[in-house]
Amino acid sequence: MLGFAQLFASRLVKAAAILIAIVVMNFFLVHAAPGDPAMVMAGEAGAADEKFVAQLREQFGLDRPLYEQLGTYVGKIVQGDLGFSYRQQRPVWDILAERLPATLVLTLTAFLLALAAGVALGTLAAVAVGTWADSAITVLALLAYATPIYWIGLMLSLLFSIQLGWLPAFGYETIGAGYTGLAHVADVAVHLILPVITLALFYMASYARLTRASMLEVRGLDFVKTAKAKGLTQSRIVTRHVLRNAILPVITVAGIQAGQLVGGSILIETVFAWPGIGRLAFEAVLQRDYQVLLGIFLVTSIMVILFNILTDILYGLVDPRIQVSQ
């Protein structure tokens, strides 16, 4: 337990240093982008004269030197304040709190589906290597990996929503239905099907190919031959010996991609009009809403770091022989 606590504390210290660097870098990258939030707000207000624009810049601190804006922003971050949205006239925390649950539901469901299906298909392909099943899984994985996810989403929506009418084409829930309890959960689940499948296909293909390659490498090692010589059943050899040792590379890749899924859902949320932070980021870019963009970058960065720490912990649980260095 002491070693685990030291490892966790060490990871948190490193994560804090990384997070500070990310905050500073994101601030300069966002402010280096072309466009002026004051001009956008003035244009929407229908009064884009120089005096009004200057008032807006002064009101939101945009007329101050960049280093002063950075100091103010970092100071607020330390206090847990993500700032104020120029465009929506609301605290950034409130905006993210509304959008983040929808993104988490979408990405975590897609991640679990991709991981389970990818490992299962990769295991089947490795066990049946050289057969038609192996070829079919390999071709399916290559197609899913190579096809743009936005095109898959559009085609699935066209087929199952427009042509067949089986599933809703967009949205988080049925507008105006007023469902509550289990009926609301079922309604959200139905709306989840198409975006989850679309997002999961690409990652499922990665995990399937990686699992197959790793299992084929492991099954030729000496300890697997020893297990066969002892007369163990094929299923026990595959699950207890081959898969358990072959799963480590999959955990590594999955741990990296789990955090990236949150930030990588922009296309899916845009195609299916899913009200998450991916779509919010797209809207914030168009509106030059710097504070919202920085808040999204910070939240997604924290999630990536947390998933990386979780991956290190899972190493020790899957294979106790591994000692993760601090």
Here the tokens at position 83 are 């700032």
Last residue in a domain, options 64, 92, 120 = 92
In this structure, is residue 291 part of a structural domain?
A: yes
Both 141 and 46 in one domain: the answer is no
147 contacts: CB under 8 Å, gap ≥ 6: 201
End-to-end CA distance of the chain: 14
pLDDT tens-digit profile, the chain (326 residues): 545 566 667 777 787 888 888 888 877 777 776 666 666 666 555 555 666 666 666 666 666 777 777 777 778 787 877 777 777 778 888 888 888 888 888 888 988 899 899 989 988 888 888 888 888 988 888 888 888 888 888 888 888 888 888 888 877 777 776 777 788 788 888 888 888 988 888 889 889 988 888 888 877 777 777 777 777 777 777 777 777 778 888 887 887 777 777 666 778 888 888 888 888 888 887 777 778 888 888 888 888 888 777 777 776 666 655 555 55
The total number of structural domains that make up the chain: 2
Both 24 and 138 in one domain: the answer is no
In this structure, is residue 241 part of a structural domain?
A: yes
Both 125 and 84 in one domain: the answer is no
Both 136 and 17 in one domain: the answer is no
78: containing domain = 2-92
Euclidean distance between CA atoms 82 and 298, whole angstroms: 9
Both 220 and 271 in one domain: the answer is yes
Both 251 and 288 in one domain: the answer is yes
Last residue in a domain, options 92, 112, 128 = 92
In this structure, is residue 186 part of a structural domain?
A: no
In this structure, is residue 54 part of a structural domain?
A: yes
Helices marked H in 92-242: 92-127, 132-146, 149-157, 181-218, 222-229, 234-236
In this structure, is residue 184 part of a structural domain?
A: no
Both 116 and 135 in one domain: the answer is yes
Last residue in a domain, options 92, 125, 142 = 92
Single-letter code of the amino acid located at 254: A
Both 80 and 119 in one domain: the answer is no
Both 108 and 14 in one domain: the answer is no
In this structure, is residue 185 part of a structural domain?
A: no
Both 69 and 206 in one domain: the answer is no
Both 283 and 303 in one domain: the answer is yes
Both 211 and 127 in one domain: the answer is yes
Here the tokens at position 181 are 């309890």
